[in-house]
A = this chain, B = another copy of it.
Amino acid sequence: MHIAPPYLLFIGDATDQLSIKMARGAADWCPELCIGEYSVSGCTVTTGIPKMDIATAAKNGAKSFVLGFANSGGILDEKWLVYIFEAMDNGMDIVSGLHDKLTDFPEIVEKSIQTNQQLLDIRHPSAEFVTGTGVKRQGKRLLTVGTDCSVGKMYTSLSLVNSMKKYYLDVDFRATGQCGILIAGSGIAIDCVISDFLSGASESLSPDNNKAHWDVIEGQGSLSHPAFAGVSLGLLHGSQPDALVICHDLNRTHMRGLPNSQFPSIETTIALNLQAAKLTNPNVKVVGIAVNTSSVSKEEGQHICAQLSEQFSLPCVDPLRDSTDCIVATLV
C-alpha cells in the first residue's frame, strides 16, 4: 500500500478539533505532503493549512483525497459520497481511516473502476500476514511504549525521527495506526490485524535492514491497559526493539476509557516492557521518557521532566515543547 501525495485533507462539516485528529496529524507532521484543506458549510475547525476546493486542488496536482475526520462509530455518512465522487472524477485516490470500508460501498467501487482511482482503507490491512518467528532481524529498532493509550506515542516517534535525522542517522518511521500511516504514506494498522498474525505483522513492519539503520516504530496501547495489552505485547515481541522510549501524559488517574482501572507508574511501565521485550531481544534498553506536559505551564513541565530524568537516570522531555534531541543525543 502506498498513499500518493500530495493530499487534499477533507474535514467535512466537523465542529470538534478531536474529530479531525487524522487531518491535523498530517498537517502537523507532513505539511509538505498536504496541498490544502477542504471543508463544507457548517465546519468550524481547521488544521491551519490553506483552504482549497477539489477542482483547484486537482489543478495544483493533488493525488489523494483524504477523509480526515472521524466520528465515534467510524461510520461513512452517505452525504460524503458526492465529494468522494468529485475527487475521483478529478483524478484523486480516496484514503479513509474510518471503520466503514470504502470498498463496502458498491457505488464507490464502481466509480473507482470507472475513473481508475484507488480506494485505500488504511485502517484495514490488505496484506496477507504469517505468524511470527522471533528470528532476529538486522538493523536497529526503537519502539515507543506508553503508560496508557493516547499519551503521545505517535508524536514522540515522529519527533524522534526528526531528531535522528539531525544526527544524520539512517532512519524510517514505521506507522501502526491510521494517522501514522497517512503521515508515512504506508504502514500497518496493527490493532486491525487478526490476533494470530499480530507478531508476524509486526515483524513484517520493520524488515531486515542495514546494520546502522534505525526503524522508529509507533507503539500502540499499553501493557497495563485491560483492553489493549495483547496488542501492545504482540507489537513489542514482533518489533524486537533495541531501544524503548516510555511515553506518558500528566494528570491521568485511570486508563483511557476505563474509570475504575488503575494507572501504572512509569517505574512499572519500564519494568513490564523491559521484561516482555527481552523475550525477542535480550539487549533491549530504555533510552528515554517522553511526557506530554501540555496540562501545565512550560516551566512546570520542564521541572517535572527534570525530576523524572533524575529519578530514572534517563533523558526526559516533552517532545512537542522541547523536541527529543537529547534522547537521541544520549542514544548515539
- Chain A residues in contact with chain B, CB under 8 A? 131-135, 190-196, 198-200, 224, 226-235, 237-238, 255, 257-258, 260-261, 276, 279-280
User: Contact: B194 with A258, CB < 8 Å?
Assistant: no
Across the interface, do B279 and A234 meet the contact criterion of CB distance under 8 Å? no
Q: Which residues of B contact A228 (CB under 8 A)?
A: 131-132, 196, 199
Q: Are the CB atoms of A134 and B261 closer together than 8 Å?
A: yes
22 A-B interface contacts by CB (under 8 A): A131-B257, A132-B227, A133-B227, A134-B227, A134-B260, A134-B261, A190-B195, A191-B196, A192-B195, A195-B195, A195-B198, A196-B228, A198-B231, A199-B230, A226-B237, A226-B238, A226-B279, A229-B233, A229-B279, A230-B237, A231-B234, A233-B233
Find A226's partner among B134, B195, B196, B231 (CB 8 Å cutoff).
Answer: B134
Q: Is A224 touching B279 in the complex (CB atoms < 8 A)?
A: yes
Of all chain B residues, which has the CB nearest A201?
A: B195
A229 and B134 CA atoms in complex are apart in Å by 11
Chain B residues with Cβ below 8 Å from A279 are 224, 226, 229
Task: Give the Cβ gap from A60 to chain B, nearest Cβ, in Å.
Answer: 37
- Which of A135, A230, A237 has the largest count of B CB atoms less than 10 A from its CB? A230
Please list the 8 inter-chain residue pairs (A to B) with the smallest Cβ-Cβ separation, ordered nearest first: A230-B234, A134-B226, A132-B227, A191-B196, A198-B230, A230-B230, A230-B233, A131-B227
Given the complex, which residues of B lie within 8 Å of A230, measured CB to CB?
195, 198-199, 230-235, 237
Contact B134 A231 (CB under 8 A): no
A238 to B231, CA, bound (A): 13
A199–B261 Cα distance when bound, in Å, is 15
Write the nearest CB–CB distance from A214 to chain B, whole angstroms. 22
Contact status B260-A135, CB under 8 Å: yes
Q: A134, A135, A190, A191: which has the most chain B beta carbons within 10 Å?
A: A134
Docked CA distance A198–B135 (Å)? 25
Contacts of A192 in B (CB 8 A): 194-196
